[in-house]
Structure 1
Amino acid sequence: ALKVLDACVPISVVKAADGNLQKERCSRSLTYLSALGISEEQLKQLNVIHVAGSKGKGSTCCTIENILRHSGFKTGFLSSPHLINVEERIRINGRPIERQLFADLFWSIQDQLIAFTKSSGVPMPGYLHYIILMACKTFIDQKVDAAIIEVGMGGRFDHTNFFSTPAVSVVTHLCLEHTAVLGSTLAEIAWRKAGIFKPHCYAVVSRDQTEEVMQVFEREASVVHCPLFVAPGAEKIRVIIEDIDDRNSYNDNNLNREKLTTCLANMWKTDCPDGTAPRLFNMELSLAAVHLWMQYRKGILSQASGLQPSLSLIFHQKDAKTALKTHWPGRWQKVYRKDAVYYIDGAHTDDSVQNIAEWFQSSTRPENESGSALRVLIFTVLGPRDPQSMLESLHRVVQPGFDMALFLNPHPPGSVLPASKESQHEHCLTCWLSLNPNATGTNSVTGSLNDLIHLVHWIDSAPRLNRDYLLDFIRVRENSFSTVPTHRDPPEMVNYKDTKNNCHVLITGSLYLVGNALKVSRFFELLCV
């Protein structure tokens, strides 16, 4: 099933100028759903939360799903892309569906679609169409209370944009991304994202949008008669310390205001001391989306259109805690192992890599200031992305700099890939060497995922970890590492001086790199926190 599905991945992308072709591909979703016997009424009963944006879509979806699930609702969640296994994309109550169920689903709709396309002349669906069709069938069969749907790319012409009456449409932070497909300006990209706004259906956007983007959102919301909200800041989101066991009691006017003893901003400072502004914006947006979903669930709808007054949000402590504790794999993730901490995030744009550099620097500042830690960068970008500005951010923000840098090809040897997925690890190394006068072939090199496996073991094996020992990894790797390491006694040690007890490893630049890094790291049973 997976081989047949993978064969459906398109080799080329549809450019922004190919508007009619984009519309045609998007419109096929409902055609395929109808062929599978899925009606618009069944889709409406999914109470969809549709999430678009450039940054933070996955984290926002995950937080929304987590809050609703812990409030007693049965959830379905479609995410994109997957990190390790394709079945991760379709989740019920937070858990990926079983691989066998995924395969059975694929074959069940495959037979129906083959018969339909032969009789109608409609082309067979592509990879992403298959995934959304399987997700909808699963969510309907499982009778979920809420379906959280992450947009694949853009919004207006995305394969997921067929829900005519979503409970809530959500847009996270926008930046320049996929410009060949979505357009070369923020205004063009905002117009694409605003395509998920639907008549008389709630829409909410994060408060960190630019003025240019907000102008587009406000205009489009008025055009389609959609009530548009901006998520309030954490200091305006009130939290009741004493929990009330009523999942439908959000924002009731009869709540005792004397119980409001704090706000989300205070809890954020206490519970997320190394949290960053983008993470906070995502959390605010998630809570606003949950509030609007609850309003929809109660039948409280709006006939207003355009930008609406600020939301007044009140949540119980358990819901705020759930939001604060939510972790989405491969985003702002820390993995602890022996004397090393691995900081993992699939950031792959200039803005997001800048944010990750600041997070890494802030999280490791005490050790950096005392000089007690080693720092390793593991990085690549894929396709046409320019790594120069990303690497400039890492070089500028992370001080006093990285002791070692590995630029890895995240794909297995011999992989046949479209140009959009080809690794630029060689070009990344060239850029890094031009930026950093201290970078040489003895501390900055290219490599493969196999090198990551060996690096983790090399760090584990050090009874006394210091810079000389760390850099010896590069010197000996070609001659010493021919197979996957097993847990064995550490290699014979020379007399390394200036031993340091901590090593901080940053893995970023590509979700493919992060996903495969997590996959190979499972060999070492890394603990995710």
Structure 2
Amino acid sequence: MKDSFSHYRQAVKYLDGFANLPGAYPHDGKQPSRYIEYLKRTQYFFDLIGNPHKSIKAIHVAGTSGKGSTSANIQSILTTAGFTAGLFTTPYATSFTEEFKVGDQYIAPNELADIIDYLKPFVDEAYAKSPYGGPSHFEIKTAIALIYFARQKCDYIVLEVGLGGEFDATNAKTNKVASVITNVGLDHTDILGNKLEIIARAKAGIIKPKVPVFTTAKDSKVLEVIYKIANKNKAPLTVVNSTNPNQDLASAVCAHLGIDKKDIQRGLKNMFIPARFERILKTDIIIDGAHNPDKIKYLVEKIKKEKEKYNHLTLIFGAAQDKPAIKMLELLHPIADEILFTKFSNPFRKAWNPHELMKKLHKKVNRKKNQDAAFLDPIDALYDSFLYHQVG
């Protein structure tokens, strides 16, 4: 009998190995004319595994910001209403298993490893025979989710787009009952383009014929794009105007699906997603994964509502090198008494040098030099904060 955790670690190591294969990443920003081939590649692979999800009702969620929280809200409401509901959302905060959820439970490590083992011969066959090439890391993850949800006999599945929408692996054939677009902002511009209308077209690519569409987009140019694509597909469109978009958008979708108002309210209260304004063990330590200006704006507003609770607000900040870190920090610095710059340890992503980032911000805004500090080790940054606040 295999040790469950060593089996799990071996399976994850196998999957991570697909990240460095040439041509496997579906959106590199270099050959946009080939993006349709990546969707065909995904569908070829799903056909090989028998499209296990084909009869499950799917809710598809795209958008620049809020799509993770909106997806989690929808899944929580459906679970509260008594349905077996699956959730596929990326990236994870602490454990790979967080990307696959049914009800209020994440997939068990040994079950995840078993599904990866099951998929291996299909992956080999796709790499050997597919005219579009073998599946990417994300496409295999999407297949894992669909197999898991089918095995769990889900009534509904909520699929969060990985990147863009139109050519994303989650946009392969599903039994879609709702297309959901949160907001549209400037993110992943090196891949999706640097104009809102272009990015909106990518997001609105999830719209399917006669499938209802729900959005909280506000920009007139973005709404024009969504309207046009919805009309072309004869898909009824609902624009949700709200100051609490992630919850109200989820509520509108679930009301359309016939969920009772009481279950909607209970589901919203029950929702949990890691690293989304997550308070650690009832302390004043809050973790949030905001990583673009739109998400940072939303985070700042949430912090401002609680700012009076804190005598001294310490911000520990790190960012990937392809993110507009200075723009985000310009939004954050007015509420931070102290900023501790650091970096993450993920070897697959380039990180901003924390010392360089601190210098760049100090040239841009008026902050005292001794007000902030930089740490190459994020644990050191955390300990420094603990010492000041006398945590532990």
Taking structure 1 as the reference length, the TM-score comes to 0.67
In 2, Cα distance between equivalents of 1:443 and 1:282: 33
Query: SS at 1:406's partner residue?
Result: strand
Q: Could you tell me which amino acid in structure 1 is paired with residue 27 of structure 2?
A: V
**Alpha-carbon distance, 1:232 to partner:** 5.4
1:222 aligns with 2:221: no
> Between the two proteins, what is the percent identity of the paired residues?
25
Helix, strand or coil: the match of 1:329? Answer: coil
Measured in 1, the distance between the counterparts of 2:284 and 2:172 equals: 43
Task: Say if 2:206 is the partner of 1:196.
Answer: yes
For the residues of structure 1 that align with 2:82 and 2:177, how far apart are their CA atoms?
18
- 2:316 equivalent in structure 1: 378
Q: 1: distance between equivalents of 2:198 and 2:213? A: 19
Alignment of 1:41-440 (within 5 A): 42-120=52-130, 123-163=133-173, 165-206=175-216, 208-231=217-240, 233=242, 277=243, 280-294=244-258, 315-336=260-281, 341-365=284-308, 367=310, 373-396=311-334, 398=335, 401-402=336-337, 404-411=338-345, 415=347, 417-418=348-349, 421-440=350-369
Residue equivalent to 1:496: none
Q: Provide the C-alpha distance between the structure 2 equivalents of 1:58 and 1:14, rounded to a whole number of angstroms.
A: 20
Give the conservation status (yes or no) of the 8 Å contact 1:91–1:97: yes
**Is structure 2 residue 19 aligned with structure 1 residue 9?**
yes
**Structure 2 residue matching 1:176: 3-state secondary structure:** coil
Alpha-carbon distance between aligned partners in 1 of 2:113 and 2:135, rounded to the nearest angstrom = 16
Superposition deviation, residue 172 in structure 1: 0.5
Gaps of at least 5 residues in structure 2 are 1-10
Q: CA RMSD in A?
A: 2.3
Q: Which residue identity is paired with 1:409?
A: K
**Structure 2 CA distance for partners of 1:386 and 1:48, relative to 1, 3 Å:** same
Contact 2:41 2:133 in 1 (8 A): no
Tell me the amino acid that sits aligned with residue 95 of structure 2: N
Q: Which one of the candidate residues 35, 52, 59 is aligned to 2:48?
A: 35
Q: Is the 8 A contact 2:230 2:237 kept in 1?
A: yes
Partners of 1:460 and 1:156 lie apart in 2 by 47
State the SS of the aligned residue for 1:31.
Answer: helix
Q: Output the CA distance in 1 between the equivalents of 2:130 and 2:358.
A: 51
Task: Give distance in 2, aligned partners of 1:155 and 1:50.
Answer: 9
CA 1:164 to 1:72, structure 2 compared with 1: closer, same or farther past 3 Å? closer
Q: Which residue of 1 aligns with 2:3?
A: none
Q: Is the 8 A contact 1:44 1:166 kept in 2?
A: no
Inter-CA distance 165–199: structure 2 relative to 1 (3 Å threshold): farther
Q: Distance in 2 between matches of 1:188 and 1:81?
A: 24
Q: Distance in 2 between matches of 1:125 and 1:155?
A: 17
Once the two structures are superposed, the pairs formed by residues 506-525 of structure 1 within 5 Å of their partners are none
SS of 2:180's equivalent?
Answer: strand
The aligned amino acid for 1:360 is: I
Q: 1:9 to 1:17 in 2, by over 3 A?
A: closer
CA change 1:452–1:218 in 2 (3 A) is same
CA distance in 1, matches of 2:355, 2:256: 47
Deviations 1:11-67 (A, max 9, x none): 7673446233211111111110111122xxx53421000000010011001110111
Question: 2:58 touches 2:178 (CA, 8 Å); kept in 1?
Answer: yes
The answer for the alignment partner of 1:475 in structure 2 is none
Residues 457 and 164 (structure 1), Cα distance of their counterparts in 2 relative to 1, 3 Å cut: closer
* Alignment partner, residue 374 of structure 2: 445
**Contact persistence 2:213–2:237 (CA under 8 A):** yes
Alignment partners' CA distance in 1, 2:265 and 2:186: 31
Give the aligned partner of residue 4 of structure 2: none
How many residue pairs get aligned? The number is 379
Q: Which has the higher helix share?
A: 2
Q: 1:379 to 1:453 in 2, by over 3 A?
A: closer
1:343 and 1:360 in contact (8 A); partners too: no
Q: CA 1:212–1:334 in structure 2 vs 1: closer, same or farther (change >3 Å)?
A: same
Q: CA deviation at 1:422?
A: 2.6
Q: Which amino acid aligns with 1:455?
A: D
Q: For 1:321, give the aligned amino acid.
A: R
The residue identity in structure 2 corresponding to 1:343 is I
Larger radius of gyration: 1
- The offset of 1:94, in angstroms, is 2.8
- Which of residues 37, 50, 58 is equivalent to 1:24? 37
What is the aligned partner in structure 2 of residue 505 from structure 1? none
Tell me how far apart the structure 2 counterparts of residues 16 and 115 of structure 1 sit (CA, whole Å): 27
Conservation of the 8 A alpha-carbon contact between 1:151 and 1:160: yes
Distance 1:348 1:73, change over 3 A: same
Q: Is the 8 A contact 2:81 2:263 kept in 1?
A: no
**Structure 1 residues 316 and 330: alpha-carbon distance in aligned structure 2, compared to 1, 3 A threshold:** same
- Give the Cα–Cα distance (whole angstroms) in 1 for the partners of residues 177 and 32 of structure 2: 27
Q: Distance in 1 between the 2:85 and 2:136 partners?
A: 26
- Secondary structure class of the residue paired with 1:21: helix
Give how far 1:458 is off.
2.6
Distance in structure 2 (CA, Å) of the matches to 1:187 and 1:436: 31
Unaligned runs of 5+ in 1: 234-276, 295-313, 368-372, 463-486, 488-529
Q: CA deviation at 1:177?
A: 0.9
What amino acid sits opposite 2:245 in the alignment?
Answer: F
How many Å apart are 1:461 and its aligned residue? 4.7
Hey, what's the Cα distance between the residues in 2 that align with 1:173 and 1:154?
12
SS at match of 2:321: coil
Amino acid at match of 1:346: G
